[in-house]
Amino acid sequence: IIDDSHKKPVVAIEFLPATLELEKRGRGASEKNAKDGPVKYFITIAGDGQVMIWDFQAVLEAVNDSDIQWRPAYKVQLQRQDSGTEMGCCQIVYCHDRVDEKKNKMLTNFFASTEEGELIFGDWAAPGGEDRKPEFVKQLFTVSKTFRPMLSLERSPFFSDLLLAVTDWAFYLFKDALFKDGIKEHLFQSSY
């Protein structure tokens, strides 16, 4: 039984790499598992603005239990930075190749899109302060805002640092390296 899930329909799902292992309560991740091992987690997003990480292996191991309760291993609520309201989301792409300035892998980052066509760069393990909540939305790019849902958000199979965002009016190319510098412009936008 799945009781603790999204409040709106799931619109995107992505399997996380087999090497990934979540730390307790999702507050981080590490690469502990074998590359050729079984995939353990997948991530979902819905119009309720929640990002949930599910432990696929745990449910497979408990599938014959009569009282199985499948809950997400971790979940976060995405909120607008300016107003604190929940974001409706519709696409997600896990960032598996991002590194920080010290060349450490950043294993908890993702890109998502809103129902208004905006692009989000987020971190599900964002630290919070003593008197403030964690800010899971690190950057919000409104350049693709059309007030309609983004139809597709994909990483290029040829260039791992390129993202393709498709709305009902246009498509956009974003370069992942640009986001590290805080540049909020796209590389290309098609005409209407």
* Mean pLDDT of all residues in 147-152: 84
In this predicted structure, what is the pLDDT of residue 118?
Answer: 86
The pLDDT-based confidence of 142 (bands split at 50, 70, 90) is confident
In this predicted structure, what is the pLDDT of residue 41?
Answer: 94
pLDDT beyond 90 at 33: no
Are 28 and 73 in contact by the 8 Å Cβ rule? The answer is: no
In this predicted structure, what is the pLDDT of residue 191?
Answer: 79
pLDDT beyond 80 at 183: no
**pTM of the full predicted structure?**
0.87
Q: Can you tell me which residue has the tokens 């190749």? A: 97
Q: In what order do the strands lie in the sheet with 119-123?
A: 89-94, 109-114, 119-123, 137-141
The pLDDT-based confidence of 184 (bands split at 50, 70, 90) is low
* Mean pLDDT of all residues in 120-127: 89
